Structure 1
Amino acid sequence: MSDTTAETTPAGPPAPYGTPSAPRVAVRGEARLQFDPELATIGIQVSARGRDRRTALDDLTRRNTAVLDLVKSYGDAVDKLSTGALSISPELGGGRGERVRAYHGNVRVNAVLTDFTALGELVTRLADLELTRVSGPWWSLRPDSPAHAEARREAVREAVRRAREYAGALGASLDALLELADLGAEAPAPAPAYAMPAPPTGVVRGFAGAQTEAAPALDLEPQRQTVFAQVNARFTMTPPEL
């Protein structure tokens, strides 16, 4: 009596295409949704000019402190406050020598606000300060905003709807999900996933001089933000009716 051993061939990876009994359908789901902004960023530049370095630096320090104190007075309406570039540079006079005519000082402050009602008043009050330049606002969403997750969910729902339409056109229905991936998950994405902040809506400047009656608060209309998401999906479907 002899023993017979049955040899089995290990199954290889699934083919990148379907079979007559289990056709594959590949689709891309996209979503482009709009949401109200959550953050407003303004840039504040404070300047000073003096005949000597000490005078310019003292004036710049005083004006910078006034800006920081004013922004901080808005409390919880301010999400983030940071100081950027600082510079003190000489201005040379005419002629061949290196005689310094004056010194110029500049400091950059960035403020991020979450209360847009306070934003218009703050911009106006900053513009009333001496030699203060205000730019912005730049409207944006928080990096962890639920808006991003909602756009991704909608992209997935769109992929399923599109795949069902293709299957339905053949008299078939979806059977199983084989793959779901962000666009560019396995290769560099050709474009950013989400909208970038909008460009500044304007610039307001304050100049040295006699103090006048406070200007009314600016009425700023927040700019809605567009969130974009894409996914690639692959399904199997039941045999079509051809």
Structure 2
Amino acid sequence: MTTPPAAEPPPPYGTPAAPHVTVRGEAHLDTDPDLARVAVTLTARGRDRRTTLDDLTHRNTTVLDLLKSCGDALERLETGALTVTPELTPRGRGERVRTHHGTVHLTADLNDFTALGELTTRLADLDLTRVDGPWWLLRPDSPAHRLARQQAVRDAVQRAREYAEALGTSLDALVELGDTGTDHHPHPETRARSMAFAAATEDAPPPPLDLEPQRQRLYAEVTARFTLRPPRL
């Protein structure tokens, strides 16, 4: 019993019997963010190293309690670098410590934006506390990424069909599909909404900020190569 010969793959180049068309497919998609990221920098200063560290620890505990009070809205909380640095006197004989500076950095991601304005103002109202953000983010597994890629593929197919129709023929088979790349960034009209706060000095708490989430702009691109049914030119 003889095995029938396997079908030969199409050549990597176009021929009169199987002409090729290569197109690029693109997709631009605007979508709401999934997360808001806030960075908090705490500072302490004192003549004694231990006093400075104790003060910094107290401030860190206060901020952690405030962030954790958000409950399930707090998706991620990380502590960055902790530094306690002595400052030496600028003049005099020998090296003498003038004061100590301490800093600690925290980063928090929130998935619920309803309490974000109140949280940022409460953080910024703390002494010697700097708040940066929010930065609006999409999760890596956000369905919006898949939707953008699918739209790019459909755009490539539509372009190839239009070229085929211009030649009076139709597509025959897909030869190759390449993922050129995807990218996303805040919408250019709202990019400048990231901001930094300084600690408030009034006795009364500041009113909550009205923070509108930045729309995220996704871009996807593919290249596709098709064979065409031979047109009559």
The answer to whether TM tops 0.5 is: yes
Mapping 1:75-86, distance limit 5 Å:
75-86=71-82
Describe the shift of the 1:201–1:158 C-alpha distance in structure 2 as closer, same or farther (beyond 3 A).
Answer: same
**Conserved 8 A contact 2:185-2:218:** no
Mapping 1:121-200, distance limit 5 Å:
121-183=118-180, 193-196=182-185
Q: Determine the structure 2 residue equivalent to 1:39.
A: 35
Q: Percent identity?
A: 61
- Partner SS state of residue 15, structure 1: coil
TM-score by length of 1: 0.87
Q: Determine the structure 1 residue equivalent to 2:199.
A: 206
In the alignment, the residues of structure 1 paired with residue 33 and residue 9 of structure 2 have an alpha-carbon distance, to the nearest angstrom, of 46
List alignment gaps of at least 5 residues for structure 1: 1-9, 184-191
Aligned-partner residue type, residue 46 of structure 1 = L
Aligned-partner residue type, residue 69 of structure 2 = S
Q: Answer with 32-41 or 196-205: which moved more.
A: 196-205
Superimposed CA distance per residue, residues 98-120 of structure 1 (whole angstroms, 9 cap, x where no aligned partner) = 11110000000000011111111
Q: Determine the structure 2 residue equivalent to 1:60.
A: 56
The total of aligned residue pairs comes to 224
List alignment gaps of at least 5 residues for structure 2: 1-5
Q: Which residue, 26, 30, 34 being the options, matches 1:30?
A: 26
Shift, 1:11, TM fit: 8.7
**Conserved 8 A contact 2:33-2:216:** yes
Q: Does 1:49 align with 2:45?
A: yes
Superimposed CA distance per residue, residues 68-94 of structure 1 (whole angstroms, 9 cap, x where no aligned partner) = 000000101111001001100011112
In the alignment, the residues of structure 2 paired with residue 91 and residue 200 of structure 1 have an alpha-carbon distance, to the nearest angstrom, of 36
Shift, 1:12, TM fit: 7.3
Aligned-partner residue type, residue 164 of structure 2 = A
Shift, 1:21, TM fit: 2.2
Q: Does 1:228 align with 2:219?
A: yes
Q: Determine the structure 2 residue equivalent to 1:7.
A: none
Highest CA radius of gyration, 1 or 2?
Answer: 1
Q: Determine the structure 2 residue equivalent to 1:240.
A: 231
Aligned-partner residue type, residue 81 of structure 1 = L
In the alignment, the residues of structure 2 paired with residue 41 and residue 162 of structure 1 have an alpha-carbon distance, to the nearest angstrom, of 39
Q: Answer with 90-99 or 59-68: which moved more.
A: 90-99
Describe the shift of the 1:107–1:55 C-alpha distance in structure 2 as closer, same or farther (beyond 3 A).
Answer: same
Q: Answer with 196-205 or 52-61: which moved more.
A: 196-205
Aligned-partner residue type, residue 124 of structure 2 = A
TM-score by length of 2: 0.90
In the alignment, the residues of structure 2 paired with residue 77 and residue 228 of structure 1 have an alpha-carbon distance, to the nearest angstrom, of 28
- Partner SS state of residue 169, structure 2: coil
Aligned-partner residue type, residue 91 of structure 1 = E
